[in-house]
Amino acid sequence: MKVPVSALYEKLLCLLPHHGLLGSLLNPCPRLLRQYSCSKTELVTATDLISYWKDVFEANEIPEAQASSEYIVSHVLGAKTFQSLNASNIARYFTLLFREQSLCPKRISKMPVQYVLGEWDFQDLTLKMKPPVFIPRPETEELVSLVLKDKYKKKKLSSACCRDIWQPPDPLGPVILEIGCGSGAIALSLLRKLPQSRAIAIDKLETAVNLTKENAERLQLQKRIKILHHDVFSSSWECLLHWGLVDIIISNPPYVFHEDMSHLAPEILRYEDLGALEGGHDGMTIIKEILNLAPYILKDFGSMFLEVDPRHPKMVKNWLHSHPDLSLFVSATHKDFCGKPRFLHIQKYKRRS
């Protein structure tokens, strides 16, 4: 995949450490400096560019240097991954190639690659990303999969013999409430996978609310989602009943213990909203508020799915034991791909009247 390099040569020189803006940012990368400075007739491949930026990132101690370089160069060339690039891509996007001039310095300033690209994939959706809105993490994809598995299981059960356990399914599909929607990753994936569902998504951060709205519109899901700028600690919760009581509450709340915050990667601390991460001294501040709210919002036998810290499943079980008035119980704990207890399935039982 060789790319001819006439006008390109000048631009490449600008990318090198002794030139322009980057000069002040980069540690030099002598091998490439020599390679790119020697001959104007040299051909440059996408692989060369990736290798160049990988070296620069490494020299600047940027984590995941190879992956970052591949993502940025491929993105500039119009592909998701380096493996999916082909020769015609390179020819077609050649004039755009040097957008990396503006993207790579952002990565060198330790901006997460998701913000650098301005988009990221979650499940089978491509979502817009914007600092400081929380970047969806891979384990949260498992949280979405758990809900889908549970819906499938319940559908099978309700069509068999257990009509006395589960309420008859709503012909309009489940109503889902997501607390702390960020970019909209969870709610929008569920809407896409459950075509008859409707969702309410709330976040206390206005930028997150706006980003979820933008993502919903880009994915043409806006008619089935109500997105609200709302704090879970607010005393008014009636607005959450836009479509009546809900079947499912789902949340990946801020759950990092206060004392663990300082151990987070510098990229996270510098760019992501810390209000999306910190859950108070025991990581439970928002979790407890969601549990307090749930009985007013959930249908009887409704489900709640939470992503938590591995220390939380025991703490939540104990806390619910001491709050029997909430009519909630932990029906299952699921492990993440690292084998850590990460997801809670909590259910509401029918209150005695």
Tell which positions 117-136 bind ligand SAM, by CB under 6 A: 134, 136
Choosing from 105, 174, 180, 283, the residue that interacts with ligand SAM (CB under 6 A) is: 180
Q: Is 200 in the site for ligand SAM (CB under 6 A)?
A: no
- To ligand SAM, the closest distance from the beta carbon of 139 in angstroms equals 9
In the complex, least distance from residue 103 CB atom to ligand SAM, rounded to whole angstroms: 22
SS3 322: coil
Examine residue 182 and tell whether it contacts ligand SAM (CB under 6 A).
Answer: yes
Answer yes or no whether residue 15 interacts with ligand SAM by CB under 6 A.
no
Residue of 282, 253, 259, 278 lying closest to 268 (CA atoms) = 278
Burial of 190 (0-12, 13-18, 19+ CB in 10 A): buried
Among 68, 114, 140, 333, binds ligand SAM (CB under 6 A): 140
Q: What is the DSSP string of 238-258?
A: GGGGBTBSEEEEEE----B-G
Binding positions for ligand SAM, 228-247, rule CB under 6 A: 231-233
Give the residue with the Cβ less far from ligand SAM, 212 or 333.
212
Alpha-carbon Rg of the chain, whole angstroms?
A: 24
* Cβ at position 106, least distance to ligand SAM in Å: 21
In Å, the largest CA–CA distance within the chain is 84
Determine if 275 is a binding residue for ligand SAM (CB under 6 A). yes
Rounded to whole angstroms, the Cα distance separating 77 from 57 reads 19
Region from 3-11, 164-172, 227-235, 315-323 binding ligand SAM, contact rule CB under 6 A: 227-235
Q: Which is nearer to ligand SAM, 69 or 140 (CB)?
A: 140
- Tell me the C-alpha to C-alpha distance, in Å, between residue 274 and each of 114, 230, 290: 17, 18, 19
Closest to ligand SAM by CB, 51 vs 189, is: 189
Q: Site for ligand SAM (CB under 6 A): how many residues?
A: 25
Q: Which residues pair with 246 in a beta bridge?
A: 298
Report the residue from 32, 186, 298, 306 that binds ligand SAM according to the rule CB under 6 A: 186
Q: What would the DSSP string read from start to end of 97-136? A: GGGHHHHHHHHHTT--HHHHHTEEEETTEEEE--TTSPPP
| Interacting residues with ligand SAM (CB under 6 A) | 134, 136, 140, 179-183, 185-186, 202-205, 208, 231-233, 252-254, 273, 275-276, 286
